[in-house]
Structure 1
C-alpha cells in the first residue's frame, strides 16, 4: 500500500499513526512544511520519502508532491491527514488522483454543521434545532419560538472558537454588531447537558471494529471563553444508547475505513440523547491515549491494521476509567506537581505540556490518570485542579 500522509509531523499524534502504518508494511510517503531534519527520528525512519512544501495551503504544491510520488512509486492507495483542518485538502487530492476514500463532492457534509443535521435526521437520532445564517429578523423569530439562551457558532470548523452562548436580546444585538462579516454562522437552541462521544474505527465493509466513549461534564464553549482548565473522562464501557445512536449516524453518513468521533448531548433536563456534531477523524487532545490507557491497547496500531489489512480481530474490552485534567499557568493551584505525583502514584500515566496552539481549550499542561471507577477519576481531577 502506498499511503501519502499529509502533515505527518503535526499534531504529534500524527507521527504515531504514520509509524504504525510503516510497521504494518505500508509505504508511507510524507508531505509537510517542516524541514526533514526537524522531524522526530522515529517518524523519519517510518517515512520512505518526505516531500517538503513551502505552503501546505497551496493545492498546486500538494499536487506536484502527489504527482512526484505517483511517478516514482506508482498508484497512491490512500491520501490522509487524520486532521480536521486538512479534510478538504485530503478530499481534493483523492478526487484529483482517484484515490479511495471521501471525495470533494461529499466533504462539505462532514465540515458544515448545518449539513450534518440532514444526516442526523436520516439516522433517526434527534438533533438540536438550528437556524442557518441568522440575521436580526430570522434570529428574532428563532428566539421567540425557542427562547434564550441560544448558541451561535461558525457553520464551518471545529472546536469552540467564535462560539457564543447568548442569554438575552442585548447579547444577541452585540453579537450582530461585532461578529465577523466573512464568517457564516448557525444559531442553535441551548441544551443544558453533558457531552458523550462515540469514538472508534469503522472498516471498508461498514463494520465497527472498535468503539469507546468519552464523557465531558464541562462546557467546552465556556472553557474557551473563560480561559479555564479542562477535564474529561474515557469510560470503561460504551453506554448502549450511545452505541445505538452512534451506529445509526455512521450508517446515515455511509462512511467507510475511518476513525470517527461523534459528539452527543445528554440532556440534564430529561435525559434525551441529542446529536451535536460528527467528526470523521481521531478524537482530539489526548483522547487517543485515553483510549489506550482505558482499553490497554495501541489504537494507532489497530487503525493501521484496519487500513492496511482490512481488519483487526475481536474488539478489546475496557479495563479502566481514564481521566484528563489540565492546569492553566494563570491560575494558582493548591497542590504542587510533586504532591500530585506522590498522591497519584501508579494511577498517573502521563504528564506533559500542551502545544500553545491548543492551550486555550486544553490547558497549558495536563495530567492523565486512571482508576477502577468514575468517581475515583473525578476525585483525582478535583485534587489536581483545586485552587487557592
Structure 2
C-alpha cells in the first residue's frame, strides 16, 4: 500500500497521520517543501522516503515527485494532504496518476463552492440560508432589498472568516463589494444562531466510524473582523439528532474514506422561511480535519488518537468509535489588544489539574484563534463554563488601578 502524504510537516501535528499509516502497514512517502533537516524526528521515523520540492504550487515539480515514487515503489494507492490549502493539488495528482481513492479535481472544485453545497444539504433534508452568487452590484442590491439586512458577504470558495463581513446597509454592501471585487463572493441572509461542528471519519461506504462535536464561545466571524476573544470546546455527548444530521450530510456528499469537518447553525430564534428556534441549518462542509489543534482537543476529550483512527479506517476499514465515553476539552483564545482581569499564569494556577497547554500563536493562526490560547480538559459543564468566564473576563478601571 503506497501512500503519498503531501506536507505532513505542516501543521506540525500532522506527523501523527504518518505514524498511523505506518502502524497499519502503509509505505509512507512524503512530499515536503522544506529541507529534510527541518523535519521533526518523529516525522522522519514514520516515513519511508521523502521528496523535497521548492514549492507545492509548482505543478511540474509535484508531477516529478509522484512520478519518482511511482517508478521506485510501483502504483500509488493514495494521495492525501488533509490540508485545505492542497485539496485541489491532491485531486489533480490523483487524476494524473489514476488514483481512485479520493476526489477527482472536478468533484473537489464543485464541493468547495459554498453555493454548490446548498443542493447537497437539500438532499440531506437540511435547510440552508438563502443566497445570491454575486455577479453585479445592482443584482446584489436587489437581493438585499428582497431579503433585508443584515446579510453576510463571504468568498464562495475558501474557509475561515477571512474576507467575511456582516452587511447592514446598502453603503456597507457597496463598500465591501469594492473591497472584494477580485473574488467570487456569495451573499447570504444573516442567521441568528449558535455555530457548532460535526467532525469525524467515514469509511469506504460513507459510514461514520468516529464523530465529535465542537461548540464555540463567541462569534467566529466577529472574532476575526473585530479581534474579539474566541473559544471552543468539544461536547460531552453526541445526540441522536446530531448523529443523524452528520450521517445524512456525509451520504448526501457521497464522502468516502475521509476526515470531515461540517459546520452548522442552530437557530436561537424563529426565522421565517428557515424554521423555528432550535432548527439546525447547514453552513458548509470541509473535506479535511478541523483546523488548528482541534484534533488534539478531540484526543484529550475521548482519550483516543484521531490520527490513528483515520489511518485505521482508511487502510483496514475497521474500528467503531461512535459510542465512546467522553470528557470535554476546549481552548480560550485571548487577544493581546484586550486587557483581561486575570493573567495567563493566574489561570494556569487556578486550573492546574485540568490544564493541557498554553500556546503563543504565530500570526498565521493568531488572526482566527487569538494571540495566546489556554487549553483545558473538563469533567463538568459547570467547570467548563467557569473557565471561559474567568479566561475572558476583562479588567475594569478599578482592576487596573490596583
Task: Give the TM-score normalised by the residue count of structure 1.
Answer: 0.96
Aligned to 1:152: 153
Q: Against the structure 1 CA distance between its residues 356 and 196, is the aligned structure 2 distance closer, same or farther, given a 3 Å change threshold?
A: same
Aligned mates of 1:314, 1:243 — CA distance in 2? 12
Aligned to 2:38: 38
Task: In structure 1, list runs of 5 or more residues that go unmatched.
Answer: none
Aligned mates of 1:231, 1:337 — CA distance in 2? 15
Mean CA deviation greater in 40-49 or 178-187: 178-187
Aligned to 1:13: 13
Aligned to 1:231: 231
Aligned to 1:163: 164
Partner of 1:213, secondary structure, is strand
Aligned to 2:274: none
Mean CA deviation greater in 358-367 or 375-384: 375-384
Aligned to 1:372: 379
Partner of 1:345, secondary structure, is coil
Shift in Å, 1:336: 2.2
The answer to whether structure 1 residue 290 and structure 2 residue 291 are counterparts is no
Aligned to 1:267: 267
Judge conservation of contact 1:326–1:365 (CA < 8 Å) in 2.
yes
Aligned to 1:59: 59
Shift in Å, 1:25: 2.1
Aligned mates of 1:184, 1:341 — CA distance in 2? 44
Q: Against the structure 1 CA distance between its residues 109 and 237, is the aligned structure 2 distance closer, same or farther, given a 3 Å change threshold?
A: farther
Task: In structure 2, list runs of 5 or more residues that go unmatched.
Answer: 270-276, 396-402
Cα deviation code 1:32-63 (max 9, x no counterpart): 11100000011011111111101111111101
The answer to whether structure 1 residue 119 and structure 2 residue 120 are counterparts is yes
Aligned mates of 2:138, 2:326 — CA distance in 1? 52
Aligned mates of 1:330, 1:169 — CA distance in 2? 31
The answer to whether structure 1 residue 47 and structure 2 residue 47 are counterparts is yes
Aligned to 1:342: 349
Task: Give the TM-score normalised by the residue count of structure 2.
Answer: 0.93
Aligned mates of 1:146, 1:239 — CA distance in 2? 33
Aligned mates of 1:314, 1:366 — CA distance in 2? 28
Shift in Å, 1:146: 1.3
Aligned to 1:279: 286
Aligned mates of 2:93, 2:201 — CA distance in 1? 23
Aligned mates of 1:46, 1:132 — CA distance in 2? 44
Shift in Å, 1:18: 1.6
Shift in Å, 1:134: 4.4
Cα deviation code 1:243-263 (max 9, x no counterpart): 222211111111100001100
What's the C-alpha RMSD, in Å, of the aligned pairs? 1.4
Aligned to 2:331: 324
Q: Against the structure 1 CA distance between its residues 39 and 139, is the aligned structure 2 distance closer, same or farther, given a 3 Å change threshold?
A: same
Aligned to 1:220: 220
Q: Against the structure 1 CA distance between its residues 359 and 47, is the aligned structure 2 distance closer, same or farther, given a 3 Å change threshold?
A: same
Aligned mates of 2:227, 2:21 — CA distance in 1? 37
Partner of 2:351, secondary structure, is helix
Aligned mates of 1:168, 1:313 — CA distance in 2? 49
Aligned to 2:175: 174
Aligned mates of 1:355, 1:184 — CA distance in 2? 28
Shift in Å, 1:355: 3.0
Aligned mates of 2:341, 2:96 — CA distance in 1? 55
